[in-house]
Amino acid sequence: MEPIVQVRNIYKDYNKTEVLKGISFDIFKGEIVSIIGSSGSGKSTLIRCINGLEKIKNGEIIVDKKVVGDSRSVIGKVGMVFQDFNLFPHYTVLENIVNPCKVIRKMNTDEAKELAMSLLKKVKLEDKINEYPKNLSGGQQQRVAIARALSMEPEVILFDEPTSSLDPELAYEVFNTMKSLAKEGFTMVIVTHQINMVTNFSNRVIFLENGKISFDGSPKELMETDNERVKQFIKMIAL
Ligand X SMILES: Nc1ncnc2c1ncn2[C@@H]1O[C@H](COP(=O)(O)OP(=O)(O)O)[C@@H](O)[C@H]1O
Choose from Mg ion, ligand X, none: what does 39 bind? Cβ within 5-8 Å by kind. Answer: ligand X
Nearest distance in Å: CB 17, ligand X: 7
**CA-to-CA distance for 133 and 136, rounded, in angstroms?**
5
Q: For 105, list phi and psi in degrees, rounded to 5.
A: -95, 0
> Residue 48 or 128: which CB sits closer to Mg ion?
48
Nearest distance in Å: CB 48, ligand X: 7
Nearest distance in Å: CB 43, Mg ion: 5
Contacts of residue 97, defined as CB under 8 A and 6 or more positions apart, other chains included, come to 112, 115, 116, 119, 120, 144, 147, 148, 151
Please report, as a single letter, which amino acid is at residue 197: M
Asked if 61 and 68 count as a contact pair (C-beta separation under 8 A), the reply is yes
Cα 231–Cα 234–Cα 239 angle in degrees, nearest 5: 130
Choose from Mg ion, ligand X, none: what does 100 bind? Cβ within 5-8 Å by kind. Answer: none
Number of chain residues interacting with Mg ion (CB under 5 A): 1
> Residue 99 or 165: which CB sits closer to Mg ion?
165
Q: Which stretch binds Mg ion (CB under 5 A): 37-45, 97-105, 179-187, 221-229?
A: 37-45
Site string for Mg ion, 44-63 (x = CB under 5 A): x-------------------
Residues that bind ligand X (CB under 6 A): 14, 19, 37, 39-45
Nearest distance in Å: CB 213, Mg ion: 16
| Residue, CB closest to Mg ion | 44
> Residue 45 or 151: which CB sits closer to ligand X?
45
Q: Which of 227, 204, 197 is nearest to 214 (CA)?
A: 227
> Residue 82 or 150: which CB sits closer to ligand X?
82
Asked if 77 and 85 count as a contact pair (C-beta separation under 8 A), the reply is no
**CA-to-CA distance for 153 and 131, rounded, in angstroms?**
24
Choose from Mg ion, ligand X, none: what does 41 bind? Cβ within 5-8 Å by kind. Answer: ligand X
Nearest distance in Å: CB 45, Mg ion: 8
Contacts of residue 83, defined as CB under 8 A and 6 or more positions apart, other chains included, come to 160, 161, 162, 164, 165
> Residue 43 or 148: which CB sits closer to ligand X?
43
DSSP letter for 68, please: -
**CA-to-CA distance for 202 and 196, rounded, in angstroms?**
9
> Residue 210 or 227: which CB sits closer to ligand X?
210
Nearest distance in Å: CB 14, ligand X: 3
> How big is the chain, counted in residues?
239
Q: Which residues bind Mg ion (CB under 5 A)?
A: 44
